[in-house]
Amino acid sequence: MQMGKKIRVVTIHGQQLDGKVTGVAIDHLQLTIGDLNYHIKFASIIYFITPKT
């Protein structure tokens, strides 16, 4: 994953989160949406997509 790239993450709970990748760790990624930072564990992610440029 590239830092600063906009992505959509779909979780095992059916949530779709659109934001910017602002951090990556061994077990989770940090997705920033507006002023909020979400730390999402990789085990909870079904898939992610990046918008076409």
Task: Note the pLDDT of residue 4.
Answer: 92
Q: Please, are residues 21 and 31 in contact by the beta-carbon 8 Å criterion?
A: yes
| Cβ-based neighbour number of residue 36 at 10 Å | 8
Architecture of 6-49 per CATH? Roll (2.30)
pLDDT in tens, 10-41: 999 999 999 999 999 999 999 999 999 999 99
- pTM comes to 0.84
3-class DSSP string for the chain? CCCCCEEEEEECCCCEEEEEEEEECCCEEEEEECCEEEEEEHHHEEEEECCCC
Domains in the chain: boundaries:
6-49
pLDDT at 53 over 70: no
